[in-house]
Structure 1
Amino acid sequence: MSLKDFLQLMGGVGLLIYGIKIMGEALQDLAGDRLRRLIAHLTETPVRGVAVGALVTTIIQSSSATTVMVVSFVHAGLMTLYQGFGVIMGANVGTTITAQLIAFKVTDYALLAVAVGAVLNLTGKNRRQKQLGAGLVGFGLLFVGMQFMGNAMSFLKGRADLFLPFRQHPLLGVLAGAGVTMLVQASSATVGLTMAMAAQGLLPLDVAIAIIMGDNIGTTITAVLASLGGNRSAKQAAACHVLFNVIGTCILMPLLPLYTHLVALTSTDVARQVANAHSIFNIANTLFFLPFVGPYVRFIQRILPGDGKAQGAGAQYLDRKLIVASPAAAVNAVRKEMIRLVGLAEEMLQGCRKAVMESDDKQAAEVLGTEKLVNELTHDIVRFGTEVGQRGLSPDLSTILNACVSGVGDIERIGDHSTNLIEMYEFMRDHKLHFTPKALEEFEEMFSLVDQAVCKSAAALDKEDAVLAREVLELEDRIDAMERDLRARHIERLNQGKCQPGAGVVFIDILSNLERVGDHAHNLACIVLDLARIRGQA
């Protein structure tokens, strides 16, 4: 190979990879955040997961990007391994569309697509027109790259002896395909290069198929790298991908002569035969695994068991990989962490109730311990949310993120008021002050109403239930009215000398803190109603 041929080959590979990249990014931008929401929410069954994985990968032109998203979602707890494996299988099917696209003979029009796309991208009046232009540029560069690669490899014509070892030992082809794909981190580049060589008559079909099988294994390296530093669930997702492709290849290789013969019948064009071999294998492998998704996932979980440790402390859903892989999923992670945080605030309030009503020192200590966790978690969520907000979100996603971060502030304040209540309880205990039975009875009424408001606001956030949110607004009105009524009654008791002056001051402070907790529950309910309006449900 001359230096000119080598440079032409490298340039062709670069143009192919870059063309696929900018075409995928343009299509992804045109589709907006709907793709991420599809992955995160519409994957309840393996069949749905396959459909979503195939659709998303077809649009963004990168199975690696899809599998990285899946690994991140599983790591963050936004998706189960069962759901994630369905999407991974779909990504394998979706990536074959690139090969089918490459097999079309449109090289003569490729430069025209680049020219039209460049003009549209530079002169487009809006973002959609500019992204459409970028997509056309990527589409054209893809075929220009293919032409360069084909021309660069033409010197191998008449040197069929070079590929004789690959025909005698198909495993060499598998290893070559896997190695090249791991090296360039782009399975489409390996497929494109293989198709270019086959179209030039340089590669026999059986060798090309073996290389394609290796490419399927090599592309899993991206998921493996994404899982490094992740939890055990992320590693299980990566293992699902690796073994899925390895098992499929192991099943096919003994049948390679028969498979080659069948693929040769699908088209007279060699490049199309290679593309068809790629598609048929991945579709057949997916159909083979579909009935066994449950047992397969359990097998992976058995060979890579979970850590067996509770995730109690610290954030559970805030995976930094999501910020880049899927800002929409990162926003959803903030929402889930906020829901977890409000659950902790709810526990604190119930602990305060027990401490005050039952003089329970153990509950008081637990509330103060939880308050530290709430503060740390609040800091983590706000910092994570700030980073997500810098990713150029859509208006709707930006509104949702801001609402969640605002809600986190309200939840932290509920925790602060709970801490205040414990400090008041400790003051009463240390100074041997006591409430009258009537005061305790009124506390029970107030605690009960405030607890209902916080519990319903938590449930409304979790379910995004506008009906529950409106009930919280009604409860908050009742809390305000009760606070005024109980304050007046208590002042009357003080004037009649029925309770200790020191206890009377604490009683008023407790009422005030509980009323403010009701205000923050009201704010959380308003967030639910705002989110419902964004989604057109209110």
Structure 2
Amino acid sequence: MDFFGILSMVGGLALFLYGMHLLGEGLSSVSGGRLEKILERMTNNPIKAVALGAGVTALIQSSSATTVMVVGFVNSGIMKLSQAVGIIMGANIGTTVTSWILSLSGIESSNFFIQLLKPTSFSPVLALVGVCMLLFSKKEKKHNIGTILIGFAVLMYGMDAMSEAVKPLADVPAFTGMLTKFSNPVLGLLAGTILTAVIQSSSASVGILQALCKTGAVSYATAIPIIMGQNIGTCITAILSAIGAKKNAKRAAIVHLYFNLIGTILFMVIFYSVNEFVDFAFLADSANAAGIAVVHSAFNVAATMVLLPFAKVLEKLAVLTIPEDAEQQEEDRVLVLDSRFLETPAVAMEQCRTATIEMSELSKKAIYDAMSLLAHYDEEKAQRVLDLEDKVDKYEDELGSYLVKLSSKNLTEKDSHSLSILLHSIGDFERISDHAINIKEAAEEMTKKDQHFSNKALVELEIFSNALKEVVDLSFDVFKTEDLTRAAQVEPLEEEIDYLQAELKRRHIKRLRKGKCTIEMGFILSDVLTNYERVADHCSNIAACLMEVNDDAFDIHEYKLDIENKEEFEMSFKKLKEKYMLP
């Protein structure tokens, strides 16, 4: 092989790897995170776990991507280690689909219809259709499908370029001599492991091996140990992704390694022991692309069938390798937004949404606990308000940073809208918990000074509290369900709360003039009423943000002015005035 032949081979390899990347990226985008969400909601059934792992990997064309996602789910506490084992095994089966697609390039026939099955025949058509979709369509879904078609075409052109470039190597004695050395099981195993670890893709390294088979110099004696090594080498991606992760996530990566390592050792020992007595004649035959696909698939299916019943043993081995330490375990669930998910934005968005809903629940608990302190102060409950507010602050910090990172990724239009809603809403949830602290401090001050609201003030405040609870419940539920119809009901409630605040202040001044209330209690009441009103404002912001983002606009103030002019608003406001009528 001359210098230009080497250039052709390197160019073919570059196209092959880029095509595989493009294909996987397009498939992930088309799935819109649905496949990953199925993984996230995985049940404890090991058979289903294997099937889902295989299915998802076959569709996104990357066992490494599936395994890294699983490591991320385990790290986040979403998935148990026991659930991860089956999915990891299934991922090994799913990754064999690529080798079967690539084996189509080996089809030889004079029949026109059979020739059409060759990728070199239909790839140009797919490339043309894909380019047309990218250039002439404005729909995101068609762009993603175009990316898949172009990725597949580039992958096949790369494979063909590699195959053509390496054909002359069949006549090079040094090359055939080197391949003969790899027929030694240990050397072949090491070669496959190192190659796959370097390019971090077993599908790609199997594809390279299939291209080398075109030379006719690769025998099954050489190919089989290399394929075994490729299964071990692919574990490097998951191991690297687990660096810095929690112990369970590291165990998930170790399970992946042990599964492939034990499966390979069992196969090698049994296969070569039997070969000593039976002498498999096919080992001397030249391997072809289809043969490589058969060996790759047969090994992974057999390894899964043998080791799946021992999934618990693999789990225990991982725990023994990475044991628990004596450190105190936190009782509360800690928020984990895993950076691994940033490479699959749809999954990352789902994680952020789940975390924001958790944040909203903490904020709601804080404000409800703080309101209850006004009627009956309890030191334990007051401390809980402080703890809840501290957690909400942590959620805001982590979510804000994570969402900013996520905003730089390639998001779908829907995910982009969701990101805008989350970014604006987390600030409102955090401010609501801050107002809970203010209300708690007002109740604490009353207790320390042994002061109380008058009976009339308590009755009025209870009505005001009920109205506030309704707007909190409604706006928080609207955020979870993204129900735009119910979102429109928030603003009249907020207006009623504004009215109640003004009316309660007016009545307090009246009592103050009659000497039925003190100035000091007046300051506390005014502070409480102001905090109630501001909580309602933040609830209104959450609902308004949801409606504005869905209308592709973002002026909350203008939106509120617009909605207040509507006839429906006036009717709703009138009903609320009757519902929360002060005595």
Interval of TM-score (by shorter of Structure 1 and Structure 2): 0.7 to 0.9
The separation in 2 between residues aligned to 1:522 and 1:295, in whole angstroms, is: 53
Using the TM superposition, give the Cα deviation of residue 13 of structure 1 relative to its aligned residue in structure 2, in angstroms: 3.0
1:472-483 to 2 correspondence within 5 Å?
none
Mapped contact 1:114–1:140 kept (Cα < 8 A): yes
- The one of 243, 246, 249 aligned to 1:228: 243
Amino acid at match of 1:140: M
- Alignment match, 1:321: 340
- The one of 151, 160, 179 aligned to 2:167: 151
Pick which of 200-209 and 311-320 moved more.
Answer: 311-320
1:311-364 C-alpha deviation (Å, 9 max, x unpaired): 6899723222322x2101111121122123223323432442465444456654
Mapped contact 1:314–1:377 kept (Cα < 8 A): no
Percent identical pairs in the alignment equals: 33
1:200-254 C-alpha deviation (Å, 9 max, x unpaired): 3423313311111110000010111111122223212211211111111122112
- Alignment match, 2:295: 277
- Alignment match, 1:105: 105
1:63-462 to 2 correspondence within 5 Å?
63-105=63-105, 115-123=124-132, 124-126=135-137, 128=142, 130-148=146-164, 150-156=166-172, 162=178, 166-167=182-183, 169-257=184-272, 270-294=288-312, 296-305=314-323, 309-310=328-329, 316-323=335-342, 325-353=343-371, 355-360=373-378, 364=382, 367-368=385-386, 370-425=388-443, 427-428=445-446, 433-436=451-454, 439-440=457-458, 443=461, 447=465, 450=468, 454=472
- Alignment match, 1:501: 519
Using the TM superposition, give the Cα deviation of residue 430 of structure 1 relative to its aligned residue in structure 2, in angstroms: 6.8
Mapped contact 1:5–1:153 kept (Cα < 8 A): no
Residue 497 of structure 1 aligns to a residue whose secondary structure is coil
Against the structure 1 CA distance between its residues 390 and 457, is the aligned structure 2 distance closer, same or farther, given a 3 Å change threshold? same
Using the TM superposition, give the Cα deviation of residue 504 of structure 1 relative to its aligned residue in structure 2, in angstroms: 2.5
Residue 105 of structure 2 aligns to a residue whose secondary structure is coil
- Alignment match, 1:53: 53
Mapped contact 1:99–1:192 kept (Cα < 8 A): yes
Matched, 1:514 2:532: yes
1:517-536 to 2 correspondence within 5 Å?
517-518=535-536, 520-521=538-539
Against the structure 1 CA distance between its residues 454 and 83, is the aligned structure 2 distance closer, same or farther, given a 3 Å change threshold? farther
TM-score (norm 1): 0.82
Mapped contact 1:220–1:238 kept (Cα < 8 A): yes
Mapped contact 2:93–2:297 kept (Cα < 8 A): yes
1:479-528 C-alpha deviation (Å, 9 max, x unpaired): 77876776566455435422213203322431342344345456657889
Amino acid at match of 1:304: I
Residue 104 of structure 1 aligns to a residue whose secondary structure is helix
> What are structure 2's unaligned runs of at least 5 residues?
108-114, 552-583
Using the TM superposition, give the Cα deviation of residue 294 of structure 1 relative to its aligned residue in structure 2, in angstroms: 4.8
The separation in 2 between residues aligned to 1:112 and 1:58, in whole angstroms, is: 23
The separation in 1 between residues aligned to 2:484 and 2:329, in whole angstroms, is: 32
Against the structure 1 CA distance between its residues 201 and 133, is the aligned structure 2 distance closer, same or farther, given a 3 Å change threshold? closer
Amino acid at match of 2:39: I
Pick which of 38-47 and 227-236 moved more.
Answer: 38-47
- Alignment match, 1:13: 13
Mapped contact 1:450–1:479 kept (Cα < 8 A): yes
The separation in 2 between residues aligned to 1:326 and 1:231, in whole angstroms, is: 20
Residue 15 of structure 2 aligns to a residue whose secondary structure is helix
1:430-457 C-alpha deviation (Å, 9 max, x unpaired): 7664433554565566556645765676
The separation in 2 between residues aligned to 1:464 and 1:84, in whole angstroms, is: 31
Mapped contact 1:74–1:81 kept (Cα < 8 A): yes
Give the number of equivalent residue pairs. Answer: 531
Against the structure 1 CA distance between its residues 347 and 142, is the aligned structure 2 distance closer, same or farther, given a 3 Å change threshold? same
- Alignment match, 1:536: none
